[in-house]
Chain A
Amino acid sequence: QKEVEQNSGPLSVPEGAIASLNCTYSDRGSQSFFWYRQYSGKSPELIMSIYSNGDKEDGRFTAQLNKASQYVSLLIRDSQPSDSATYLCAVNQGGKLIFGQGTELSVKP
């Protein structure tokens, strides 16, 4: 079983829609969770961090964490073509970030 799992996609949504990205993890002891955005040919860029159960909102982005279900998600509201990228879920396990395989998001104008 992979430690951090994401649907690889591609996920295609129309401009203005909500994009929903999901991630599950195997280590119940994990306490820190992150979403990174990676444009093609660029390095990962941190967009959200979440440490407690529930929702955390930052602009058009909402991260959701459910530790009991070992599930973390990212919602992108009012999706824009500039949001087209690969989104990487990362879980801190023992002081190290373990990444999922990433979900490719395509926002169509």
Chain B
Amino acid sequence: SAVISQKPSRDICQRGTSLTIQCQVDSQVTMMFWYRQQPGQSLTLIATANQGSEATYESGFVIDKFPISRPNLTFSTLTVSNMSPEDSSIYLCSVAGSASTEAFFGQGTRLTVV
């Protein structure tokens, strides 16, 4: 499986600010996804990061709040904008070789908004 590096691993941010999370993969991958895991909850898909085009967002998530970039097949960023305490969560980058195969996760970014 690919080696997925996500940073920062954790951060404490002031409300109203923005944080950009980076996801770097050691090999080219077709599919990259961003998930959120709120405290004590399961994983919720935020969006699919599409290489060279706009991300595809799930219901309840919008580009203005969670802008995503994917400039190539090994790198993506997720920005959490205008943060509020409700954005405190773990954000996870995930990659897959194709649309039907298993996905692997980065180590996650634990975000606390104060």
Interface of chain B residues 72 through 114 with chain A (CB within 8 A): 92, 94, 96, 99-108
C-alpha spacing A50/B12, complex, angstroms: 39
Say whether B31 faces chain A, with CB atoms less than 8 Å apart.
yes
Most buried by A among B103, B106, B108: B103
In the complex the two chains form, is B41's CB within 8 Å of A97's CB?
no
The answer for the CA separation of A46 and B103 in the assembled complex, in Å, is: 8
Measured in the bound complex, the distance between the Cα atoms of B101 and A98 in whole Å is 13
Considering only CB atoms and an 8 Å cut-off, how many residues of chain B contact the other chain? 23
B42 at the interface (CB under 8 A from A): yes
Q: Which of A11-19, A56-64, A66-74, A99-107 contacts B (4 or more CB under 8 A)?
A: A99-107
A-B contact pairs, 11 of them (CB 8 A): A31-B100, A32-B102, A43-B105, A88-B43, A92-B99, A92-B100, A95-B31, A96-B48, A97-B33, A97-B96, A102-B42
* Chain B residues near A (Cβ < 8 Å): 1, 31, 33, 41-45, 48, 58, 92, 94, 96, 99-108
Partner-B contacts on A (CB < 8 A)? 31-32, 34, 42-46, 49, 88, 90, 92, 94-102
Kindly list the 10 A-B residue pairs having the minimum CB-CB distance in the complex, ordered from nearest: A95-B99, A43-B105, A99-B43, A101-B42, A43-B108, A99-B42, A49-B102, A32-B100, A102-B42, A46-B102
